[in-house]
Each structure stands twice: as C-alpha cells, then as structure tokens.
Chains A and B, each alone.
Chain A
Amino acid sequence: MSITDTPEPSRRSPKRKRSVSPDARIPQYDGAADGAALQYAYDEEMPSELQSPESQEQDGAPAKKQKVERPTSLNYVPHMTLRGHKRGVAAVKFSPDGRWIASCSADATIKIWDSTTGALAHTLEGHLAGISTIAWSPDSKVLASGSDDKIIRLWDISTGKCLASPLIGHHNYVYSLAFSPKGNMLVSGSYDEAVFLWDVRTARIMRSLPAHSDPVSGVDFVRDGTLVASCSSDGLIRIWDTSTGQCLKTLVHEDNAPVTSVRFSPNGRFVLAATLDSCMRLWNYVEGRVVKTYQGHKNEKYSISTAFGTYGVDKEQVDIEEEERKREWAFAACGSEDGRTVLWDVSSKEILQELQGHDGVVLGVDVGLEDQTIITCGNDKTIKIWKRRPPPATNGVNGTNGSHEPTPPQPAVKGTTGMLDEG
C-alpha cells in the first residue's frame, strides 16, 4: 500500500463507464524510451508548445511511418433533436451500456429515449416538482432522480415504474446525485446544505456528511467508490472518505466563486469543477492545486454540468502505426449560457469545437459510448444528439484549424419523438 505520489508505470485502463478497448494503451508513457521520470522533467523545462507527443519521442527509435499529431479540432455534427419536455431540460445522461438516454426536466417528468433511434421509451411521472438531477445505476437497470419535492426516486427502466421505497430525508431540493461504482450506494447533495450517503438496498440514509454552508450543487463518486466529492455555492469542493465519512480535503479557489458542478476524471486523480466565474477548473485534489483553467464559455448564473471524453486520430488514416492509431487524448466539455457547448483539450486548454444549436442556456452535457456521440440539453426544452464525423478538411489532422463550420439550421419539428436532423 504505497502512499507516495511517485509516478508508476502506467497502463491505459478501461474507464469506469465506457470500457471499450481495455488494452488500448497511452503511448505517452510507454512509447518514450526514457520512461515516466524523464517525462516529468520535460514538464517543467519545456514550454507547452513543445510538449506535443512528438517531441517526447525524439530519442526513441526513428519512426518509419508518419507520427501523429494531436488533432486540433473535433467535428461533432447535429444528428437528432429530441423534443417532448414541456419545460427546460436540466440534465441528460447516457445509460452506462449506451442503450438509453435519460433526461429530466422542470416539468417534473423524466423521459427515457432509445439512444440509436431517438424514440421515446418511457415517460416517468411521479415527482411533484421539477427534477434537477438523474443518475444511472452501473447496470443500466435503475435510474435515480432527485427533485425539488425533496425526494429521491428510483425507477425500474424495464417497466418505467417507480420502485416502492423512495429515499426520503432531505429537507430541501435535491440537487445532485451519483451512484457508487458497484451500485450499492447513492450520494445526494441538496439545497439543505447536506450530503447524504444512501444504502440503495434499504433506501435508508447510511451517513450524513456535514458538508457545506450553502446549497450543495454537485456530488460524484470516484471510480473505485472510496471517495466522494461534493461542491457548493459556498465556493468549496470537499473530498470525503466513503467508508468513514470524514472530510479528507477541501479545495478552494481564492476568488471563492460558487461551484456548480464537480466530477472526478476517468482515472480518479483529478476533479473537474465548474464555477460561476465562467471558468472550469481541473484540480489535483491530492495536492490541492488547480492544474488547468478552461475559459471561453459563459457561466454566471446556472448550474451547468461537465463531461469528459476522449478522442484520437482519424481511424481511416492509413499511413500510421497501429500503436499510434490507438493514442487517445482527453477532452472536457461544458455547456454555456449563450447556447454553445464547448469542448477543450484537457492538457493544452485549446478549444477543440463549439457545438452551436441550442437556444439559450445549455444545462447538461454527456459523452456517450466510445465517445462517438455527445448529448446536450438546455432551457429550450430540447435534447440534441451530436455525432462525431471525420474532420472535413482531409489534412485536418496535420494542423489545419478550419473545422468551426456553422452548424446547419435546425428544422423545426414538433412531436414527442426524436427527429433526424440530417438526411
């Protein structure tokens, strides 16, 4: 049980939810002959422009084939618009198996959509007030929802019925939810300033964390379930030990801007937090410092959720080595109050793409299985599905930066099922 922070030889592993190719490796570490220690030296000495993966491999064996560069843009195009909610859509989530999309709205309903066809499968009714948050159980069979009626409900997706015992205990609006990786625990954050850990099986409160002095706006579980993160409009992010209920770390930025959402990175070593100063920050929570600040969106009033995704080189490209083909970079996504959804490269902080289409605030964003799909939702009552396409310029991967095409105008479609935007 080593507690030191020394970099260990690393291996690309499946992310918690989206495990596609467990053996895909990140060559950033094992591609270079000199290993992790030297890589850290680079970090300090070299300006960021030189830290492209290419420069790290300069003393490796000379490559016979073309080296790949990180694509500087992504090309997600509008694919479908799902309509049916009568008021703003607060959150939208892919089920872990990728089959369903769940959305919750201020109209007090939850809708379950088929992720491939966009057909409405269920409308879950039972809450008495608007629903701010939803969370899928890891087996994709149960959806939890938290509402302004102070109650958390669990829904059986196969029947569309509410399970018998709702989780009752919060004294005010339930604002945020997350399932533990095993699905046996649920963490909830509420306007009553508390964070509750629930035993899902008995629908009882297991532990109440005296979390914050303002409404709790976001909660998340780390990939192995041993830590819980919570954030609040008091400007604090706290990291908790699940098994003891003790606070292990508190993160605060000096501006003390209200934090509206928090989530752990796929490997669990960082937390991504959105704040109402139009910034999204990536924290190294062990050291308690900000490692990245992402800007370019507008977020001053609404709780906007964030998401992580990955991207690689164009798979169609022929003249690259197999190892290079598997290389992946991470992006972070966040909605904006001006109708955009912004995707940043995690390391360089460059904006990779801005998805334009929503009318008004984009409240929720989620990245689907294999990162081929992004879903967004907003105050305009719609949910939009975006599909990844190869960059339009054929030499796009070689550094041209011309993919910010305006998205085609949305056909105005009424009805409760999703409509294809193209074709």
Chain B
Amino acid sequence: MNLPLTDPTLLAQDIPETLTARLRSSGQAVCLRFSHKGDLLASGMAKGTIAIFDLETNGVARKLKGHTAGRTVQSLSWEKSGRYLLSSSIDWKVILWDLQDGSRVRVVSLGAPVYIAELHPQNHLKCVAALYEYRPVLADLTDASKPLQHALPNLPLRAPHEQDANPDKADAKHFTTVAAFTPSGSHIITGTTKGWLNIISTTTRKTISSIRLCSKPILLIRLSTSGRDLLVNASDTIIRTLRLPDLSNPALLPDQIHLEVEHKFQDVVNRLSWNHVAFSSNADYVMASTLMNHDIYIWERGHGSLVKILEGPKEELGAVEWHPHRPIVAATGVESGRIYLWGLVMPQRWSALAPDFSEVEANIEYVELEDEFDIQPEEELVKRRLDQEDEIVDVLTVDEGQLEREGGMAGDAGWSMPVLLDMGESDSEEEIVAIGTGQYRRKSQAREDGDEFLDGDDGGEHEVDEVEGGSGRKRRRGD
C-alpha cells in the first residue's frame, strides 16, 4: 500500500545500491535462499543449524536443528507457499521441515554427502539431489515409511565422435555435481564434473539431451523463474547464460533441443573465479560473488556488460541471492558467517514532513486565484467545504493489484509464519558465555549486533545524498 506514496525514481531502479543491513544469528551462515513470497530468508549454518529470518524485522523467526551437529548445511529449497523447506547437508540427510511448528516432516538419508537438493516446484514431497561421487537421486517422499529413491544417470548423451577413447575408465570418474528442476518440474537439469549439462526427463528418468560447456566441473546451475534462462557457473572462471526451449511443452522432441551459450561473463584481466552466482528477479541481471575478493559483480544480460559492483563488507562473500521481486541482494560473509543485505536507500523527502510545502523542479510563476484572498464569513466557508464532500467513497473494496501483491495473506493459499515470542531467549542462550565459575557474561558480539543493525539501517554512512541535495531546487509555499 506504500506504492502510491513512494518516489517513482526509486521504483524505477532495479539494482540495489548500498549495504542496508547485516543479519546474524549465532552461527556461520553458508547458504541462503529467499522464500518465494520474499518475506523470509532461510540460511544454513556451517554447524548444521538453519535460521529463518523475517525480512520485515530482520530478526530470526525460527531456528531449525536436525542435521548432525557440526556438518555443514549444503542447500535449502522452499516450497511455494513458504510453509515447507528442504535442507540438505553433508551428513547424507535431506530434511523436509514444516515451519508451522518447526517439525521435521521427512528425514531421508541418501547414503552419500549431498551437494545440493531441490524440491519439486509443484510437489513438495518430491526432490532431486546431487550426491558426492554417486549418481543423482530423484526421491519421492510421499510415503513417510518408505521413501522411494530413483537413481538418475550421471553420463551425458554423446554422439559417437564425442566418446572418449577409453570410455569406461573416463566415465568411472564422471559424477554429477548439481541438479535443478525446471519450473514446471517436468525436467531436471544436471551439471557434471566434466563440464556437461544434462537434461533429464522427470517421468522417464532418462537423459534426453546433453551439451558440453567446458572441461572443468560445473559448480552451480540456476534457472530463472520463467524457466527459459539458465545460468551456469563452472570452475573455468567463466559464467555462462543459456536460453532454454520451453521444456514444459510436451510436443517438444528431444532432438529439437539445441542449447547455445548466450553470454559468457568473466574477468579477463584478473582471472577471478566466482564463488556463487544468481539471476535477478526477472533474470535481466546476473550477479556473482568472487573468490578472494570482497565484491559482488552485477552484469546486465541484454548486452552482457558489467553494470554494478556492490561493495561493503571487508570480507570475501560466499552465497549470493537476489530477492524474488525487489531490488534486494543477500550474501554471506565467508569469514564471519554474517548475512549482508543490499538495497535501495532514499533520503527522507522533507516535503513529506511539512504538508504546506511541495518540492518543485523549477521556479513556478505564482498566479493568484480570483478568490484566493477574498474575505468570507467563517461559517459560510465551513458550510461550503462540507457541502463539497459529496463524492462517494469506497472504504471497503481493495484493488485487484493490491490483493495480488498481498498474495492472499489470509486463506489457504497464503501461509504465514507463526510469531514465536520466545525467540529472544533462545537467541540469548547461545550468546551468553561463561567467564568463570558461576559467572556469565553476555557475549559482546550480541551487543554489537543490535547496534550494527541499527547503524546499517540508517544507511547514513554509505548513502550519497544526490537526489534532493537542495542545490537548484526551489521551495515554494503551496496553497
């Protein structure tokens, strides 16, 4: 509902500019994922816990403990409504969480450390996982007592001339490192240690198409929300984007699928490698965090040009995520484990505080209205004003667009996170350290945190006051 009052120039901007907040719960965050609605941010910790942040308060909304303590959480995947979350860890397990009460709906051991696990977009009881030195798995968790695990092929479909001289020996070391569902869930796209991309049909579990991008392992595959764009990070320091055909179209034959690289993003001078990559909300931009470097690079996809480098924290950044519909970027710090958020900051419009004034672009010639300074009897004025209030006002009907933005906050489609009122306590437990026998002290970290959030929020130190700088703007008393 704040849109009509928001500065249009702010709404036109689609890239975040400044560091706006730092989140931290006790733990070192290593992976991140925004919920589909964008109101929650899940973060997986190096020690196996998961924290769900509420992005309205920037506070922890829920903590989930279930993975083997000390084993890193590898990936997170949200169900559409935001009620369920799938997490995977190198402790071999994938866990499906119900955030209504924090319970574990399913816990499945896949028999190998998990690289990445992703939920089926339409059915939260199905998931695909890429495993360490094993075949990727399509798991059906519908039956709680007996989850079905189907192994998917590792090897690409190759034309005869692409075969290695000694196929058996080469293929023995050919594994899948990453797997992702297309938005309709009809296909799975996997990346391998030898730089191949495979498209696997979810129903037949057969590879229907393959392409070799490079000879180094593929690190990460991301699909845009439309499912027509693919972003691939490989360890050859090149990020590639590819256009995908409409795989959900059943009329599409496998041999009609031709994948072509659209753009290659790389730093030719410094040969930077990329830690983690992500699309922007509408896939217009590609961003990447860099190895041994403190910056996030943002490229524009139309021309493939670098448009922005996000700076802020003095540490290397790991996972990066773009908010599903707002210009907000989240990233984890590799050393501190903190979560950083970049966004847009606007200076306060002073005219909003002073209702008698309005901000104008240039001098406006003042023209006196005919009756502006006529002296009228007070009662007459009041009566006239009251008589003018004759429009029909509708205080009940809500705009269609507004309802859409709210996404059905009530009702069954919209699930909302319960508010736990003991969150503060559970947080402080871990922040209190024993400094002697029977003596406890609150970790200074905790104190720092609270302050930091407020600091970051003001954005004062980062923000460049350029819009309403006062120069050249004329102020004029309004009517």
Given contacts A201-B54, A291-B393, contact A246 B410 (CB under 8 A): no
- Assess whether B391 is interfacial by the CB under 8 Å rule: yes
Please report which residues of chain A, range 339-354, place their CB below 8 angstroms from some CB of chain B when the two chains form the complex. 346-347, 349
Of A114-122, A188-196, A262-270, A374-382, the one with at least 4 CB within 8 A of chain B: A262-270
Q: How far is the CB of B174 from chain A (nearest CB, A)?
A: 46
B11-A346 in contact (CB<8A) = no
Contact of A199 among B39, B59, B403 (CB under 8 A): B59
Contact count A vs B, C-beta below 8 Å: 205
**Residues of chain B with a CB closer than 8 A to A223's CB:** 1, 398, 406
A202-B424 in contact (CB<8A) = yes
Contact of B392 among A182, A246, A293, A347 (CB under 8 A): A347
Given contacts A19-B410, A204-B59, 8 further A-B contacts (CB under 8 A): A10-B400, A14-B411, A26-B397, A183-B419, A250-B352, A267-B395, A267-B396, A267-B398
A346 to B393, CA, bound (A): 7
Of A125-133, A168-176, A237-245, the one with at least 4 CB within 8 A of chain B: A237-245
A201 to B427, CA, bound (A): 10
Given contacts A3-B6, A199-B59, A241-B2, contact A249 B393 (CB under 8 A): no
Q: How far is the CB of A97 from chain B (nearest CB, A)?
A: 12
Footprint of B on A, CB under 8 Å? 1-3, 5, 8-15, 19, 22, 26, 28-29, 39, 43-44, 47-48, 51, 137, 139, 142, 154, 163-165, 180-185, 199-204, 206-207, 222-227, 236, 238-239, 241-252, 265-270, 282, 285-286, 288, 290-293, 308, 310, 328, 330, 346-347, 349
**Residues of chain A with a CB closer than 8 A to B424's CB:** 165, 201-204
8 pairs from A and B in contact (CB 8 Å cutoff): A8-B401, A10-B397, A184-B417, A224-B409, A246-B348, A246-B349, A266-B395, A291-B393
Footprint of A on B, CB under 8 Å? 1-6, 8, 11, 39, 54, 56-61, 345-346, 348-349, 352-356, 385-386, 389-403, 405-406, 409-411, 416-425, 427, 450, 457
Most-contacted residue by chain A among B58, B352, B396 (CB, 10 A): B396
Most-contacted residue by chain A among B58, B61, B354, B397 (CB, 10 A): B397
B1-A249 in contact (CB<8A) = no
Query: Which secondary structure characterizes the binding site on chain B?
Result: loop
B396-A310 in contact (CB<8A) = yes
A199-B397 in contact (CB<8A) = no
A224-B392 in contact (CB<8A) = no
A249 to B56, CA, bound (A): 21
A29 to B399, CA, bound (A): 12
A184-B391 in contact (CB<8A) = no
A202-B61 in contact (CB<8A) = no
**Chain A residue with Cβ nearest B3:** A3
B60-A26 in contact (CB<8A) = no
B393-A248 in contact (CB<8A) = no
**Chain B residue with Cβ nearest A49:** B390
